[in-house]
Structure 1
Amino acid sequence: MERYFKRRFASTTSSSDNVGSSSSRDVDSSKESELQDILANLIADPGLRPQMLDYDPNIRDEWFDEFDWLEYSISKDAAFCLYCYLFKSNFRIGQGCSDAFKEMGFRNWKKKDKIRQHVGPVGSVHNQSRQYCVDLMNQKQHIQTALIKQSEQARIDYRICLTASLDCVRFLLRQGLPFRGHDESDTSSNKGNYLELLQFLADHDEKVKAVVLENAPGNLKLIAPTIQKDLVNACATETIKKIIKDMDGAFFSLLVDESRDVSVKEQMAVVFRYVDKSGDVIERFVGIQHVRDTTSNSLKEAIDILFAREELSISMLRGQGYDGASNMKALVAVAKGNPDIATFFTSCNSLVNIVGASCKRRDILRDQLQKDVTEALEKDIFPTGRGLNQETCLKRPGDTHWNSHYGTLLSIISMFKSVVKVLKFIIEDGSTDNLGEANRSLREIQSFEFVFHLFFMRSILGATNDLSQALQRKDQDIENAMTLVKVCKDQLQHMRENAFEALLDQVSSSCAKHDILVPNMDDAYVAQWRSHRRAPIITHLHHYRVDIFIQIIEWQLAELNHRFSEVNTELLLCLTCLSLDDSFIAFDKQKLLRFAEFYPQDFNSRDLLALEDQLEIYITHMRTMTDFSQLKGIGSLARKIVEKGLHRTYNYVYLLLRLALTLPVATASVERAFSAMNIVKGPLRNRMGDQWLSDSLLVYIEKDVFACIDNETIMLRFQNMKTRRGQL
Structure 2
Amino acid sequence: MDKFVTRLKRGQPSTSSTIPPVASSIPSEVQRDTNPSNINFNYMKAVPANRRPTAEYDPNIRDEVRRYYIQKGPCQPMNHDFPKTQFGKKKKTMRQFHPGWFKGRHSKWLEYSISKDAAYCLCCYLFKNEHDVVEIWEMLLRKRRNEKDKNESRHRLGASIEVARFLLRLGLPFRGHDESTSSTNRGIFLELLQWYGAMDQEVGSIILQNAPKNEMMCCPKIQKDIVDACAKETIKAIIEDLDGDYFGILVDESKDISHKEQMALVLRYVDKKGEVIERFVGIVHVNDTSARSMKETIYSFLSDHSLSPSQIRGQGYDGASNMQGELNGLKSLILRDTPSAYSTHCFAHQLQLTLVALVKKNSDVDDFLCIVTNVLNIVGASYKRRDLLRQHQAAKLEELLISGEVHTGQGLNQERGLQRPGDTRWGSHYKTLQNFIDIFPSILYVLEFAACECPNYIDRLTAESLVDKIKGFDFVFMLYLMLEVLKKTNYLNCSLQKMDQDIVNAMGLLNTAKQELQMMRDRGWKSLLDDALSFCNKHEIFIPKMDANYIPGKSKRRALDVTYSHHFRVGIFYPVIDLLLQELNNRFDTVSTDLLLGMACLHPAKSFGNFDKKKVMRLAGYYPNEFDSNKLRDLSCQLDNFIGYVRGSDKRFFNMKGITDLAKVLVQSELHQTWPLVYLLIKLTLILPVATASVERAFSSMKYIKNELRNSMSDEFLNGCLVCYVEREIFATISNDAIIHHFQKMKSRRAQL
**Pairwise mapping of residues 621-636 of structure 1 onto structure 2 (< 5 A)?**
621-622=645-646, 623-636=648-661
1:45-64, Cα deviation, whole Å (9 max, x unpaired): xxxxxxxxxxxxxxxxxxxx
Question: For 1:487, which of 499, 512, 516 is the aligned residue?
Answer: 512
What is the Cα deviation at residue 645 of structure 1? Answer: 0.6
Is 1:640 matched with 2:659? Answer: no
SS of the residue 1:263 aligns to: coil
What is the Cα deviation at residue 557 of structure 1? Answer: 3.0
Q: What residue identity is the alignment partner of 1:185?
A: S
Q: What residue identity is the alignment partner of 2:261?
A: E
Q: 1:162 to 1:288 in 2, by over 3 A?
A: same
Is 1:402 matched with 2:426? Answer: yes
Q: What residue identity is the alignment partner of 1:190?
A: N
**Pairwise mapping of residues 683-694 of structure 1 onto structure 2 (< 5 A)?**
683-694=708-719
Q: What residue identity is the alignment partner of 2:352?
A: V
Gaps of 5+ in 2: 1-142, 325-344, 555-560
Q: Contact 2:249/2:315 (CA < 8 Å) preserved in 1?
A: yes
Q: Contact 1:335/1:555 (CA < 8 Å) preserved in 2?
A: no
Is 1:336 matched with 2:331? Answer: no
Distance 1:633 1:524 in 2: 52
Aligned to 1:327: 346
Q: Contact 1:254/1:271 (CA < 8 Å) preserved in 2?
A: yes
Distance 1:189 1:292 in 2: 39
Q: What residue identity is the alignment partner of 1:456?
A: L
What is the Cα deviation at residue 206 of structure 1? Answer: 1.6
Q: Contact 2:400/2:406 (CA < 8 Å) preserved in 1?
A: no
Is 1:416 matched with 2:471? Answer: no
Distance 1:372 1:421 in 2: 11
Aligned to 1:314: 309
Distance 1:216 1:559 in 2: 67
Aligned to 2:122: none
**Pairwise mapping of residues 569-588 of structure 1 onto structure 2 (< 5 A)?**
569-588=593-612
Q: Contact 2:373/2:420 (CA < 8 Å) preserved in 1?
A: yes
Distance 1:685 1:166 in 2: 21
Q: What residue identity is the alignment partner of 1:216?
A: A
Q: Contact 1:641/1:647 (CA < 8 Å) preserved in 2?
A: yes
1:195-248, Cα deviation, whole Å (9 max, x unpaired): 111111122122222222222212112222222111111111111111011001
Q: What residue identity is the alignment partner of 1:409?
A: L
SS of the residue 1:289 aligns to: strand
Aligned to 1:592: 616
Output the aligned Cα RMSD.
3.5
**Pairwise mapping of residues 294-443 of structure 1 onto structure 2 (< 5 A)?**
294-324=289-319, 325=324, 326-330=345-349, 331-337=351-357, 338-339=359-360, 341=365, 344-345=368-369, 348=372, 351=375, 364-373=388-397, 375-376=399-400, 382=405, 384=407, 386=409, 390-394=413-417, 396=419, 402-426=426-450, 428=452, 430=454, 442=467
Distance 1:227 1:350 in 2: 51
What is the Cα deviation at residue 562 of structure 1? Answer: 3.9
Q: 1:715 to 1:476 in 2, by over 3 A?
A: same
What is the Cα deviation at residue 657 of structure 1? Answer: 1.1
Q: 1:274 to 1:452 in 2, by over 3 A?
A: same
What is the Cα deviation at residue 249 of structure 1? Answer: 1.4
Distance 1:206 1:267 in 2: 43
How many pairs are equivalent? 574
Q: What residue identity is the alignment partner of 2:513?
A: C
Distance 1:219 1:346 in 2: 63
Is 1:465 matched with 2:485? Answer: no
Q: Contact 2:274/2:664 (CA < 8 Å) preserved in 1?
A: yes
Gaps of 5+ in 1: 1-147, 528-536
SS of the residue 2:262 aligns to: strand
Q: 1:392 to 1:186 in 2, by over 3 A?
A: same
User: Bigger shift: 242-251 or 320-329?
Assistant: 320-329
User: Bigger shift: 595-604 or 367-376?
Assistant: 367-376
Give the percent of matched residue pairs that are identical in Structure 1 and Structure 2: 45
Aligned to 1:650: 675
Aligned to 1:210: 205
Distance 2:458 2:214 in 1: 55
Distance 1:178 1:248 in 2: 33
Distance 1:544 1:266 in 2: 46
What is the Cα deviation at residue 722 of structure 1? Answer: 1.1
**Pairwise mapping of residues 265-276 of structure 1 onto structure 2 (< 5 A)?**
265-276=260-271
1:291-314, Cα deviation, whole Å (9 max, x unpaired): 234332232122122112212111
SS of the residue 2:277 aligns to: strand
What is the Cα deviation at residue 446 of structure 1? Answer: 3.6
Is 1:611 matched with 2:611? Answer: no
Distance 1:219 1:440 in 2: 70
Q: Contact 2:280/2:727 (CA < 8 Å) preserved in 1?
A: yes
Is 1:251 matched with 2:246? Answer: yes
Distance 1:702 1:354 in 2: 40
Distance 1:641 1:496 in 2: 42
Q: Contact 2:249/2:314 (CA < 8 Å) preserved in 1?
A: yes
Q: What residue identity is the alignment partner of 1:607?
A: K
Distance 2:385 2:582 in 1: 42
Q: Contact 1:470/1:476 (CA < 8 Å) preserved in 2?
A: yes
Distance 1:202 1:513 in 2: 64
What is the Cα deviation at residue 333 of structure 1? Answer: 3.8
Q: 1:404 to 1:265 in 2, by over 3 A?
A: same
Q: Contact 1:455/1:507 (CA < 8 Å) preserved in 2?
A: yes
Is 1:290 matched with 2:285? Answer: yes
Q: Contact 1:334/1:555 (CA < 8 Å) preserved in 2?
A: no
SS of the residue 1:720 aligns to: helix
Q: 1:182 to 1:158 in 2, by over 3 A?
A: same
SS of the residue 2:254 aligns to: strand
Q: 1:605 to 1:295 in 2, by over 3 A?
A: same
Aligned to 1:189: 184
Q: 1:377 to 1:233 in 2, by over 3 A?
A: closer
1:508-555, Cα deviation, whole Å (9 max, x unpaired): 55345434456899557599xxxxxxxxx9999999778865565455
Q: What residue identity is the alignment partner of 2:415?
A: T
What is the Cα deviation at residue 405 of structure 1? Answer: 3.3
Q: What residue identity is the alignment partner of 1:267?
A: Q
Q: 1:606 to 1:466 in 2, by over 3 A?
A: same
Aligned to 2:257: 262
1:570-597, Cα deviation, whole Å (9 max, x unpaired): 3122222222223222222112111111
Distance 1:686 1:490 in 2: 48
Q: 1:444 to 1:542 in 2, by over 3 A?
A: same
Q: Contact 1:179/1:194 (CA < 8 Å) preserved in 2?
A: yes
Aligned to 2:39: none
Question: For 1:708, which of 699, 709, 733 is the aligned residue?
Answer: 733
Distance 1:551 1:443 in 2: 26
1:482-525, Cα deviation, whole Å (9 max, x unpaired): 21111112222344455457545644553454344568995575
Q: What residue identity is the alignment partner of 1:329?
A: A
